[in-house]
């Protein structure tokens, strides 16, 4: 990491600024705090000289507390699928920041798990048709 990195989960305003806060976020709140069936499905990746943007789907059974992603929500036991966009900026070979946000569904007639299913469906159709 660079000297003053930050991480920001836009949908829930979870964040860490500076080396200690970012380190503690990953150590205390993230690493080892994912359900056993936690899965990441990559939809697309855009790479530039100093930035990577990933469009992906997180899927899991909400069977543990996940305050970094679902703050103040006790485990529900339900299957969850969340579409996300992650923007990682680099300064040379070091990570400067990671910003994580939900895909904007404004104007789309979908909500909840349907967001992820629709995005996966569109992605599969594009692969099948070569678009």
Q: Where are the beta strands (DSSP E) in the chain?
A: 6-9, 14-17, 39-47, 51-61, 79-91, 94-102
Q: In the chain, what percentage of residues exceed pLDDT 70?
A: 83
Which structural domains are found in the chain, ordered by start?
A: 6-129 (3.10.450.50)
CA-to-CA distance for 47 and 54, rounded, in angstroms? 9
Please tell me what DSSP assigns to residue 10.
Answer: G
74-121 per-position pLDDT tens digit: 999 999 988 888 888 898 888 888 777 665 656 655 556 666 677 777
Q: What is the pLDDT of residue 59?
A: 93
pLDDT band at 47 (very low <50, low <70, confident <90, very high): very high
* Contact present, 117 and 81 (Cβ < 8 Å): yes
Mean pLDDT of the chain: 81
Is the pTM higher than 0.75? no
Do β-strands 39-47 and 79-91 pair in parallel, antiparallel, or remain unpaired? unpaired
């Amino acid at each position: 990491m660079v000297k003053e990195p930050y991480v920001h989960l836009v949908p829930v305003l979870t964040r860490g600024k500076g080396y200690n806060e970012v380190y503690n976020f990953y150590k205390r709140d993230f690493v080892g705090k994912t359900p056993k069936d936690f899965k990441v499905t990559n939809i697309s990746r855009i790479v530039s000289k100093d930035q990577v943007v990933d469009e992906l789907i997180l899927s899991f059974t909400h069977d543990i507390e996940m305050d970094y992603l679902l703050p103040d929500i006790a485990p529900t036991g339900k299957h969850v699928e969340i579409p996300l966009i992650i923007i990682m900026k680099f300064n040379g070979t070091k990570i400067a920041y990671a910003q994580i946000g939900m895909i904007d569904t404004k104007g789309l007639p979908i909500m909840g798990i349907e967001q992820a299913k629709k995005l996966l469906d569109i992605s599969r159709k594009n692969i099948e048709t070569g678009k």
